[in-house]
Amino acid sequence: MLRQRVITALVLVVLLLGSLLASSTWPFALLTLALLSAAGWEWGRLNQAGQLPSLGMSAAVALGGAAALAAGWTTDAPAALWFAAIVLWLAGAAMALRSGPAAWPQLPRSARWALGLLVLWAAWLALAQARSIGVNYMLSVLCLVWMADVAAYFGGRAFGRRKLAPSISPGKSWEGVWSGIAGVVLLSLFWVWLDGNFNVDGPSVYSRLLSSLGVAGLGLGVLLLCGLSVAGDLVESLVKRAAGAKDSSRLLPGHGGVLDRVDALLPVLPAALALTALGALR
């Protein structure tokens, strides 16, 4: 298992680095669209779709991405889209998590399918636009999620007492959440210092929030993004538990499926673009 994890991780790193180092942004956009399209297939399988409908959902994400590329939205998507994504995630995640895994399959399949496709498409579009803003900006958003996850894991192991959502993800604790937030706060301070002392291709999401919304805006933005990171993770866990699945698929040997790797990013990417757009309005 460890060997599979390492090999899969190395292959993904090589592919992603190669696309990031390209002079154009389209190789990265196409590679990530392929991954999110695969997640569309996984979403269908987790939500009572047969093989053909699941493949159709994958194709729908790909076609939606292609349309966005043709329209130039990967560099300049409507800001209203990002604000709508935040509202959808806050309202939808709150309802799903309050109702629990048993209630999820009771929703109409068509609604669940459409919701998943919309979320995957919006997350890919946000990722593509983040890349067009700058590699430093994009990495600062990705690392926020990774830091929140890593710090929550170790903080939960060391201090975890109060369960966060025992019926959905028994291993998560409130102490882990606070540890994740603390880790991201430290990361944001480090990244602001990094932006000011090294020649990067553009400001990170943290520096943009600090310069446009001030210290309070940066702090509230970090809290919102960390909270959405947890929500994305919990929602995918809820869907898998409702489907009786441990992993979203076995597409990534040793790692599970694509959804397992990007669940926390799905709400955070559009939200980061929304906060950036909000700062630009001031």
Which pLDDT tens digit goes with each residue over 121-174? Answer: 999 999 999 999 999 999 999 999 999 999 999 999 999 899 999 989 999 999
Q: What integer pLDDT is reported at residue 189 of this predicted model?
A: 96
**Dihedrals φ, ψ of 275, to 5°?**
-65, -40
Closest CA to 141 of 227, 204, 78: 204
Is residue 162 helix, strand or coil? Answer: coil
The encoded tokens of residue 229 equal 């990171």
Contacts of 202 (CB under 8 A, 6+ apart): 133, 134, 136, 137
Is residue 166 helix, strand or coil? Answer: coil
The model's confidence at residue 89, banded by pLDDT at 50, 70 and 90, is very high
Contacts of 131 (CB under 8 A, 6+ apart): 20, 25, 28, 29, 138
Q: Determine the structural domain holding residue 80 and report its residue range.
A: 2-281
The model's confidence at residue 2, banded by pLDDT at 50, 70 and 90, is low
What b/e readout covers 117-129, taking b as 16+ CB neighbours within 10 angstroms? bebbbbbbbbbbb
Q: What is the pLDDT of residues 193-230, one digit of tens each?
A: 999 999 888 999 999 999 999 999 999 999 999 999 99
Q: What integer pLDDT is reported at residue 1 of this predicted model?
A: 58
Closest CA to 46 of 57, 61, 35: 57
Kindly give the residue spans of alpha helices, DSSP state H, lying in 160-264.
174-197, 205-243, 258-262
Q: What integer pLDDT is reported at residue 59 of this predicted model?
A: 97
Query: Is the confidence at residue 282, as pLDDT, over 70?
Result: no
The encoded tokens of residue 76 equal 């300049």
Closest CA to 122 of 54, 42, 55, 40: 40
- C-alpha span between 69 and 98 (Å, rounded): 36
Round to the nearest angstrom and report the end-to-end CA distance of the chain.
50
The model's confidence at residue 252, banded by pLDDT at 50, 70 and 90, is confident
Q: What integer pLDDT is reported at residue 138 of this predicted model?
A: 95
Angle of helix 79-99 versus helix 109-133 axis, rounded to 10: 140
Task: Give how far Cα 233 sits from Cα of 24, 226, 253, Å.
Answer: 32, 11, 20
How many domains does the structure of the chain reveal?
A: 1
